[in-house]
Amino acid sequence: MARVQYFTACTLDGFIADEHDSLDWLFEAPHHGEDDGGWDEFIGGVGPMVMGATTYEWVLRNHDMVTNPQQWRDFYADRPCWVFSHRELPPIPTVDIRFVSGDVRPVYDEMRAALPDKNIWLVGGGDLVGQFDDAGRLDEIWLGMQPVVLGAGAPLLPRRITSKRLTLREVRHSDQQLQLILDVAPRD
Binding residues vs ligand NAP (CB under 6 A): 8-10, 16-17, 21, 23, 26, 51-55, 58, 84-87, 101-102, 123-128, 131, 154
Rounded to whole angstroms, how far apart are CA atoms 161 and 158? 9
Give me the least distance between CB of 148 and ligand NAP, in Å please.
10
Give me the least distance between CB of 124 and ligand NAP, in Å please.
3
Give me the least distance between CB of 67 and ligand NAP, in Å please.
19
CB atoms within 10 A of CB 31: 16
Give me the least distance between CB of 164 and ligand NAP, in Å please.
26
**For 152-161, b where at least 16 C-beta lie within 10 A, e where not — what string?**
ebbbbbeeeb
> Residue 84 or 95: which CB sits closer to ligand NAP?
84
> Residue 64 or 116: which CB sits closer to ligand NAP?
64
- Collapse the DSSP code of 34 into the 3-class scheme (helix H, G, I; strand E, B; otherwise coil) and give the result: coil
Rounded to whole angstroms, how far apart are CA atoms 140 and 7? 8
> The dihedral of CA 108, 37, 8, 182: what is its sign?
positive
> Residue 116 or 136: which CB sits closer to ligand NAP?
136
Instruction: Give the residue from 173, 107, 94, 186 showing the smallest Cα distance to 140.
Output: 186
> Residue 160 or 164: which CB sits closer to ligand NAP?
160
Tell me the residue nearest to ligand NAP as measured from the CB: 52
Give me the least distance between CB of 129 and ligand NAP, in Å please.
8
> Residue 13 or 116: which CB sits closer to ligand NAP?
13
Rounded to whole angstroms, how far apart are CA atoms 46 and 185? 20
